[in-house]
Structure 1
Amino acid sequence: MNELAGKLALIGRGIWRNRWLAIAVMWAVGLIGLGVTWFFPERFEAQAKVHVDTMTVLKPLMEGVTFQPDIDQQVKMLGKTLVSRPNVERIANDPSVGLLERGQSSANEKLLDFLMKNIKVDQSGGNNLYAITFRDTDAERARKVVDRFVRLFITSGIEAKQRNSDEATRFIDEQIKDYEAKLADADTKVKEFKLHNMAVANANQQDYFNRITAIRDEISKTTIQLQSADHSREALRRELAKENPYLPGEAASSSSLTPDLDARIEMQKRQLDDLLRRYTEAHPDVFATRRTIRELEAERRRDVQIKLKTQVTPPPGSMAPTNPVYQRLRIELAQAEALVASLQAQIGAYRVRQQEFQTIAEKIPQAEAELMQLTRGYEVVRKQYEQLVNRREAASLGAKMDRNSSMAEFRLVEPPRVSPMPVFPSKKHLAALLMLGSIVVGMAVAFGMTLVHPTVSSERELREFTKRPVLGVLTVLPDPRRESTLRQERLRVLAVVGAYLFIQFVWIGWMVFRSFYGIH
């Protein structure tokens, strides 16, 4: 503290040595400040507050029924883009606002830049409370500018919403027409594909695999039947080759004498042939049938001998025209040939059908993939088309809601008004600052002269300045005449400084009076 007090005392003594220089600089700066204050243009702030109410009764009722944009976000964006160059040009070129100078038809770049920098649109208080402010040297002009921007803010919100609804409806209509064409094209492609691939378009690969398996089973079964029929045919051929087509006359006569027994024997032989096809010679049915045939043949021989005794014997060497066994074998061989041909034809038909099913089954995966791709594209287009139609209905309902009732209500909470007091820095503020500044500048100049032409007034100052030891000190004896002169000097300084302060306070008071009563 002692060191600080010593430094302050040193500064004070330096300023006192150059007191008249400080007073002169103070007066000069003060007078210049009076002129600057007189010609300094004061600015007045005009302000208006607008509240945007986005919460209405209709909004929650229509939620989920129609498309509702984010009104709060739109209002925020509207507030941020309100001070745009087109809007500022519109306000600046309005003759009723008074921004244009006489003879000026349109605003210049300087004026537009000034307006864009000084017009403020800020959220005040809540999220939907906006304050529009503007500062100008003309209070009435500032109020008009704010009033025009308030109107522009309200009308722009309504126009922007209506414009957005119209643009959205027009865009959706264009997209719906485009998707209608895409949907018709996709539908045509699906129909053409189904017509060109009718056999495989709606087929199931598993069904065809089951059919192929069933046909293979039928081929195997028919092949077994064909092998059995072929063996029977070969057996008939061998028997036919061994049989004589003609019979002797005695046999021919005997065959005609016992037709019933011949028929029974023939039937038993057929049954024997059928059993031999299925069983071996050791089977009991085969033994029983052979025993029956032997008994019938023995009975037939007895009957023939009895009947031949009572008939005339034909001439020896005569031959019957045909052999019944031979004819029977030929008939059975023909039937066997027909059966083999039928079975071969069935196997061929089965193989053709198998090849057809195999070809179709091989095409089914590719056809299903192509059909699935076409169907998927069709479904995507159809869903998008249905969504667009639903959104068009929602947009149409939203547009009707916008026309019938406003989803966002703009309320002018505080109309445009101008504060009666000028904003900082006003003339009174500037006058006070200049008064203080002139005093500080005067004292700074006086202290600066002390640094340029330094002097010492004590032993300590001399020792610190010279960095040498002080050998002695001379003491000044009190002198009444010197004290009187010093007292008079102080009075003159106080008078000059007091006069300066009086003039400054009178000037500041006048500025306050003018500002309070609105004298410009």
Structure 2
Amino acid sequence: MQDALELIQEKLFAVWQRKLFALLLVWPICIGGWIYVSNMPDVYDARARIYVDTETVLKPLLEGLTVEADVDTQVRLMFKNILSRSNLEKVARLSDMDLLANDEDEFDELIAQLQRDIKTIKLDKKQNLYTLIYRNQDPRMAKSVVESTINVFMEDILGETRIESQQAQQFLDKQLAEYERRLVEEDRKLADFKRQNSGLLPGESGGYYNRLEAEKRDLQDATLALRQKESQLANAKQTLHDYEAQMRAGSGAGQAFSSKYDQRIESLQQRLDDLSLRYTEQHPDIIETTRLLEQLERQRNEELQNSAMVPSAQSSGDMGYYQQLQLLVTTLESEAVSMRIQVSTYDARVKDLEQLVYKVPEVEANLLALRRGYEITRQKYEELLSRKETAALGQRAGEQADALKFRVIDQAKVSPKPVGPKRALLYTMVLAAGFIIAIGVPIVLGELNPRVYSASSIVELTGIPLLGQVSDLEPSAQSLSGRLQVASVGLSAVILLFIYGAIMFTQIASQSPVASRLKQMAEGVL
């Protein structure tokens, strides 16, 4: 605490040593500052109040049927739109402020100044009351700017809502046409894909796998029926062969019947047995050998019928039975050939379907993607169509009752007294700045050119212990001179404060109602 007091005392000594310099600083600063503040031009405030009505008679009736805009956001955007360059240029021309600009640069600066100075303030959050404020040195100009701003604002409001509705309708129409085109294109692609992959799509004729299983079952059934038919044919041939042998044996001639086809039939039969050991019944070689063997047997039977070695004494009943056996063999052979063709057809179908087993998942995936794209496009199209109807209904409702109604509650008015500058505050700030500078500059100079003002300072500077100190007894003349210096400094400060008080009194008195009436009376007399 003692160190702090000594430090303050040293700073005051530094100021006192340069008191004349401090006086030379404080007086010019204060007097010059007060003169500058007093000569600052007055600024007048022009303002108007606007009420925004967001409630309409149709609003509760159309709730949920039309697009409900965020009215507060719309109002804020509209007020911000006032400060756009195009609107401010209109305001400048309507208020004749553009006449103050001599060239394009000055006009740009004028527009920028308008953008900074025009303010909109919402007075009450519950009630949509807004105040439009503009300040200018000329009260008539301030009022004209506010009136022009309101006029431009109202003109924009009248057409903006309808223009936005028309733009929304045009946008929706354009999007609808685009999605309709895409919907037709997706439908065409889906139809082409189904046509190209007919038979592989899920849900068609039971699906691919169901068709494959059905074809395999048909192949198995046809193969089983063919085997049964071939077994019947073999039995019929054996019966016919045995009956022929019986007929030859029953003739009593002991003659053996031989034909030119017997050796070839035996050779083909042996070859067929060899092929059967290596291949299946559907092998082409087996099929061809069987066909040749059957053909030779038919020719041999015909030769047998025409041969004279057939006993003529046979009864007509035996000959009829023999012919029935031949007819049965021929019928079974024909049915067997037909069944072989059917088995071959089923087998080809199964093989064709089995070759497509790896293609089916790809086809199903592509079909799913096409259907998904088609469904998304269709949903978007229906959504846009619904929005178009909603927007059209909202536009028709807006034509009957506007969602926003603006009314000017208070026309543009100018304050009878200037609202600026705040001279009383500025006078006080000038006085404070003068004293701060007058005290601060000597302290800074003292730091740059330090002096010793106390015994503790000597100890701090030299590091030598202090043994004692001797007081200086000033002569009476020096004491009187010191008192005069104190008195002159005090008087100078008192005079400066007196001038400040007089200026403040004059400023406050000029703002009183009495002074305003006296000023009006003087202006009326003049």
Distance 1:225 1:456 in 2: 139
Question: Are the aligned partners of 1:240 and 1:330 in contact in 2 as well (CA < 8 Å)?
Answer: no
Q: Distance in 1 between matches of 2:35 and 2:224?
A: 128
TM-score, scaled to structure 2 = 0.68
Q: Does the CA-based 8 Å contact 1:75-1:157 persist in structure 2?
A: no
Alignment match, 1:233: 236
The residue aligned with 1:203 is 205
**In structure 2, what is the equivalent of residue 62 of structure 1?**
62
Counterpart residue type for residue 145 of structure 2: V
Q: Are 2:9 and 1:26 aligned?
A: no
Q: Could you tell me how far apart the structure 1 residues matched to 2:313 and 2:461 are?
A: 178
Q: Using the alignment, how far apart are the partners of 1:500 and 1:490 within structure 2?
A: 15
Superimposed CA distance per residue, residues 280-300 of structure 1 (whole angstroms, 9 cap, x where no aligned partner): xxxxxxxxxxxxxxxxxxxxx
Residues 162/113 of structure 1: CA separation in 2 closer, same or farther (3 Å cut): same
Partner of 1:333: 326
Q: CA deviation at 1:230?
A: 1.2
Structure 1 residues 497 and 69: CA distance shift in structure 2, 3 A: closer
**Take 1:73 and 1:450, find their aligned partners in 2: how far apart are those partners?**
61
1:175 aligns with 2:171: no
Could you say which residue in structure 2 is the equivalent of 1:392? 388
Which range is displaced more, 158-167 or 221-230?
Answer: 158-167
Find the counterpart in structure 2 of residue 242 from structure 1.
Answer: 245
Q: CA deviation at 1:428?
A: 3.1
Range moving further from structure 2, 200-209 or 232-241: 200-209
State the partner residue of 2:402.
Answer: 406
Say yes or no: does 1:218 pair with 2:211.
Answer: no
State the partner residue of 2:261.
none
> For residues 173 and 146 of structure 2, what CA distance do their matches in structure 1 show?
40
* 1:311 matched residue in structure 2: none
Q: Which residue does the alignment assign to 1:288?
A: none
Shift of 1:233: 2.0
Question: Contact 1:120–1:132 (CA<8 Å) still a contact in 2?
Answer: yes
Q: Deviations over 1:228-281 (max 9, x none)?
A: 321232223213322448999xxxxxxxxxxxxxxxxxxxxxxxxxxxxxxxxx
- Distance in 2 of aligned mates of 1:224 and 1:462: 136
Contiguous gaps of at least 5 residues in structure 1: 249-317
Answer yes or no: is the 8 Å Cα contact 1:463–1:470 preserved in 2: no
Letter in 2 for 1:401: A
Alignment correspondent of 1:437: 433
The aligned counterpart of 1:264 is: none
For the residues of structure 1 that align with 2:456 and 2:372, how far apart are their CA atoms?
102
What pairs with 1:7-18 in structure 2 (closer than 5 Å)? Answer: none
Amino acid aligned to 2:64: G
C-alpha displacement of 1:488: 6.7
Q: Which runs of structure 2 are paired with 1:178-189 in the superposition (5 Å)?
A: 178-189=178-189
Cα shift readout 1:148-202 (whole Å, capped 9, x = no counterpart): 4455555545644433322221011112122222333333444455566666664
Indicate yes or no: 2:347 matched with 1:345. no
Give 1:510's aligned residue: 506
Counterparts in 2 of 1:118-517, with a 5 A limit? Answer: 118-121=117-120, 125-126=124-125, 132-153=132-153, 156=156, 159-192=159-192, 202-205=204-207, 206-244=209-247, 320=313, 323-353=316-346, 355-356=348-349, 359=352, 362=356, 365=360, 371-410=367-406, 412=408, 416-420=412-416, 422-423=418-419, 425-444=421-440, 472-476=470-474, 496-516=492-512
How far is the alpha carbon of 1:402 from its aligned partner? 2.3
In structure 2, distance between residues paired with 1:372 and 1:482: 112
Query: Residues 184 and 445 (structure 1 numbering): CA distance in 2 closer, same or farther, change over 3 Å?
Result: closer
Which residue of 2 is the match for residue 269 of structure 1? none
Moved more, 448-457 or 196-205: 448-457
Partner of 1:108: 107
Q: Supply the distance in 2 between the matched residues of 1:182 and 1:84 (Cα, whole angstroms).
A: 40
- Deviating more after overlay: 335-344 vs 80-89: 80-89
Residue of structure 2 equivalent to 1:255: none
Task: Quote how far apart the aligned CAs of 1:348 are.
Answer: 1.7
- Equivalent pairs: percent with the same residue? 22
- Residue 437 of structure 1 aligns to which amino acid in structure 2? A
User: In 2, Cα distance between the equivalents of 1:486 and 1:40?
Assistant: 41
Cα deviation code 1:410-443 (max 9, x no counterpart): 4556655455555565333323332343344445
- CA distance, structure 1, for counterparts of residue 73 and residue 196 of structure 2: 55
Return closer, same or farther for 1:164/1:331 CA change in 2, 3 Å cut-off. Answer: same
**Aligned pair 1:73/2:73, yes or no?**
yes
Tell me which residue corresponds to 2:301: none
Q: Cα offset for 1:321?
A: 7.4
Relative to structure 1, the CA distance from residue 235 to residue 460 in structure 2 (aligned partners, 3 Å threshold; closer, same or farther) is: closer
**Kept after mapping to 2: 8 A contact 1:66/1:398:** yes
CA distance in 2, matches of 1:417, 1:4: 58
Cross-structure match for 1:37: 37
Q: Distance in 1 between matches of 2:403 and 2:426?
A: 49
Q: Which runs of 5+ in 2 are unaligned?
A: 252-310, 521-526
Q: Which amino acid aligns with 1:348?
A: I
C-alpha spacing 1:5/1:342, structure 2 compared with 1 (3 Å) = closer
C-alpha separation in 1, matches of 2:471 and 2:34: 48
* Native 8 Å contact 1:229 1:340 kept in 2: no
**Aligned-residue offset at 1:325:** 0.9
SS in 2 for 1:108: helix
TM-superposed deviation, 1:122: 5.5
Deviation at 1:376, TM superposition (A): 3.7
Q: Greater Rg, structure 1 or structure 2?
A: 1
Partners of 2:510 and 2:17 lie apart in 1 by 40
Alignment length (residue pairs)? 449
Looking at structure 1, the residues matched to 193 and 11 of structure 2 have their Cα atoms a distance apart, in angstroms, of 105
The answer (yes or no) to whether the contact 1:50–1:131 under 8 Å persists in 2 is yes
Summarize deviations over 1:57-81 as a string: whole Å, max 9, x none.
6445434323333333344444555
